[in-house]
Amino acid sequence: MQLSCSVPKFEFDVITMGHGSGGLLTHRLLQSGVFDILKNDMLDQQHDGAVFELSGKLAFTTDSYVIHPVFFKGGNIGELAVNGTVNDLAMCGAIPRYLSLSFILEEGLKTTTLGKIIQSIKLAADKAEVQIVTGDTKVVEQGKGDKIFINTSGIGTLHPQAQIHHNRIASEDAIIISNSIANHGIAIMSQREGLEFETDIVSDTRPLNHIVNKLLDDFGADIKFLRDATRGGVASVLNEVAEITGLGIEIEQAVLPVEPQVEGACEMLGFDPLYVANEGVFIVVVKKEIAEKVVSVLQNDQATKKASLIGFVNSQTPKKVLLKSKIGGRRVVNYLTGEQLPRIC
Amino acid sequence: MQLSCSVPKFEFDVITMGHGSGGLLTHRLLQSGVFDILKNDMLDQQHDGAVFELSGKLAFTTDSYVIHPVFFKGGNIGELAVNGTVNDLAMCGAIPRYLSLSFILEEGLKTTTLGKIIQSIKLAADKAEVQIVTGDTKVVEQGKGDKIFINTSGIGTLHPQAQIHHNRIASEDAIIISNSIANHGIAIMSQREGLEFETDIVSDTRPLNHIVNKLLDDFGADIKFLRDATRGGVASVLNEVAEITGLGIEIEQAVLPVEPQVEGACEMLGFDPLYVANEGVFIVVVKKEIAEKVVSVLQNDQATKKASLIGFVNSQTPKKVLLKSKIGGRRVVNYLTGEQLPRIC
């Protein structure tokens, strides 16, 4: 699939407070660079909301994106905002359909920056096969925001075979990770002021809905639980699962997929990859009997080719996540404490 | 209906960057003061999104709220964020059902402030009869935000008789305004630094879904178009209608409902009430034959008791909005130009 989209050309060079007035400047900003790029029947109505017909079980999710820097290795806040919300819907077992898009712009933002972000939003939406159907634009004074914050909310229709729920997780279930971890966090970190270092590591931001859809097509209700390991990393997701189910989890360090370069950067910075944010990696919990098959389907897809069975659920260590280290010892993996990587998404 | 809700008691005094980590602090913040207040079956899942069953024609909308100050006469950003999105759904002819709630908090925000806002969110949601089913919390460094920004997105089911669309507007249709205008903008302005003045004027933030529902019950498809006159005021809404329909609009100054105290404040500040933001006022376009009846239904409701038939659509002055002044002259009413009242919602 070859997607393309031109960069919008705004009639203004920088964003001013007037672009958030709801009056003429807001209108001209949207007309010149937003509506023509994101164009579709529903958005063209320019009403207070979009109206469409959908039936059955729906999923609904929201996320605000405040990532810093706005442009990073492997992506920018625009595609991140689309992919992140698409992925949250996919994790519910839903097929993403419609997104909303809401900007909080800082006065003084260059419209060339905004244009590139809108172009990325359009390309990411096309790639994920979702439509942006409604939106909002606000402007805050210089020093009261940080270039651009984006909220995307999304609606999806549940895959007919999906039965994703934490209460379906049972002892002996297998825990699969979809790809190698910690790339996103390390890519962002390498660009932060005071920390810059040379690296080829890029963010793993990507839409996961197509591969999740394939898993649900192939395995249906045998896919018990899905969760993307974003902020807080794999460790936080596993702790949430342990806490809400009351069960224990044990994973094995030796089979955790981490790229050597990422592992090196983590060592240098003193980070444990289990706590570093991802954008295109998810945890799948399945019956252990089908674990190998699920891993093999994942490994056949470019987005998840490093998929690995990393451990199992148990009833012996309730609410605890344990890691069996490479040298055979076991340690508790807690929630991320403090703030390792602020504004990572 | 008597609604009540306690103020959440957080175990932290101020918001720190760690509360946006996605790890332990985020988890404890939400557990201690958010989930227990906003509690419902869907939110309790704490999954990446909410899943529910809905069928038919749906409306979907989003808004980010950046109002300054956060607490103002007649309300705060919390209830504004609920009412604003509820009202956008109502303007589509929908019955609001589910909201998402996404916070961007500034490091250093006092949790007592956050607690009061969450209490207002809960009360406003109960009053509008909507559920908050999914959410997100981000934290930005001091000086990169402004206390709190809130995004709410919402889903509603279309009223079975609703046929709200700008393409249904025709020449000779009547334009009704639901209540007296400019209260919200003037209330906020009276509290702005450098402009403070004594006034009893309070914001008109309120849910409009119940009265819109009654209009649709009573008049069905004869209600052709609805739009709330928020940012940009009545003037901007009328200009949008004129532009998108290609028709003209003429309204009469003498019948525009403006409270004397609001009119006085507008004169003092040099504002035209037609450009001042409202939060609980909307425009209704109907066939002229039923206009009087619609006004009378509105006037029977506390939220819309100053409703007034303010003018008509015409085909003589395409894309123009004209105002017949009290002394009989006519002038063009343009879009709001520039930024009169920054961060009014």
Domains of chain A as residue ranges with CATH: 17-158 (3.30.1330.10), 166-332 (3.90.650.10)
Contact between B78 and B117 (Cβ < 8 Å): yes
Q: Which residue has the higher pLDDT, A255 or A21?
A: A255
Q: Which H/E stretch holds residue A303?
A: none
In this complex, do A60 and B47 lie within 8 Å of one another by their Cβ atoms? no
CA–CA min distance B333, chain A (Å): 12
Quickly state the pLDDT bin for A193 (edges 50, 70, 90): confident
State residue A249 phi and psi, 5-degree precision. Answer: -135, 135
- Of A182-196, B110-124, B241-255, give the lowest mean pLDDT range: A182-196
* Alpha carbons A106 and A118: distance in angstroms, whole number: 16
* Alpha carbons B201 and B265: distance in angstroms, whole number: 9
* Alpha carbons B345 and B149: distance in angstroms, whole number: 10
Query: Each residue of A244-265: pLDDT tens digit?
Result: 999 999 999 999 999 999 999 9
Interface A-B, measured as beta-carbon pairs within 8 A, has a size of 290
* Alpha carbons B194 and B87: distance in angstroms, whole number: 31
pTM for the structure as a whole = 0.96
Q: Which of A51, A62, A334 sits opposite B102 (nearest CB)?
A: A62
CB contacts of A58 in chain B (<8 Å) are 51-54, 155
To test the contact with chain A by mutation, choose from B12, B45, B47, B89 the residue with the greatest count of A C-beta atoms within 10 A, namely B47
Contact between A226 and A282 (Cβ < 8 Å): yes
Q: Which of B49, B56, B87 sits opposite A89 (nearest CB)?
A: B49
- In three-state secondary structure terms, B181 is coil
Of A42, A36, A5, give the one whose Cα is nearest residue A131. A42
CA–CA min distance B105, chain A (Å): 11
CA B104 to chain centre: 20
Query: Each residue of A288-330: pLDDT tens digit?
Result: 999 999 999 999 999 999 999 999 999 999 999 999 999 999 9
B29, pLDDT greater than 70: yes
In this complex, do A24 and B66 lie within 8 Å of one another by their Cβ atoms? no
Question: Packing angle between helix A233-245 and helix B24-33, nearest 10 degrees?
Answer: 40
Query: Each residue of A150-182: pLDDT tens digit?
Result: 999 999 999 999 999 999 999 999 999 999 999
In this complex, do B88 and A49 lie within 8 Å of one another by their Cβ atoms? yes
CA–CA min distance A182, chain B (Å): 15
Q: Residue type at B282?
A: F
Interior angle at CA B176, CA B172 and CA B180, nearest 5: 150
According to DSSP, the residues that pair with A96 across neighbouring strands are A156
CB contacts of A342 in chain B (<8 Å) are 17, 20-21, 139, 141
Q: Residue type at A172?
A: E
Average pLDDT for A12-31: 91
CB contacts of B235 in chain A (<8 Å) are 23
A2, pLDDT greater than 70: no
Contact between A17 and A141 (Cβ < 8 Å): yes
Beta strands in B229-337 (DSSP E): 248-252, 282-286, 308-314, 321-324, 330-332
Structure confidence at residue B4 (pLDDT)? 84
CB contacts of A52 in chain B (<8 Å) are 57-58, 60
Cβ neighbours, 10 Å, residue A221: 13
In this complex, do B53 and A57 lie within 8 Å of one another by their Cβ atoms? yes
According to DSSP, the residues that pair with A151 across neighbouring strands are A64, A102
Average pLDDT along chain B: 94
* Alpha carbons A187 and A193: distance in angstroms, whole number: 13
**Under 8 Å CB-to-CB from A156, ≥6 apart: which residues?**
A58, A59, A89, A90, A92, A94, A95, A96, A97, B49
Tokens 């070859």 sit on residue: A2
Structure confidence at residue B256 (pLDDT)? 98
CA–CA min distance B300, chain A (Å): 26
CA distances for A338 relative to A25, B21, B330, angstroms? 42, 7, 63
Average pLDDT for B77-100: 98
Structure confidence at residue B1 (pLDDT)? 57
**Under 8 Å CB-to-CB from A167, ≥6 apart: which residues?**
A245
Q: Which two tokens stand for residue B47?
A: 């999954």
ipTM value, please give it. Answer: 0.96
Average pLDDT along chain A: 94
In this complex, do A25 and B64 lie within 8 Å of one another by their Cβ atoms? no
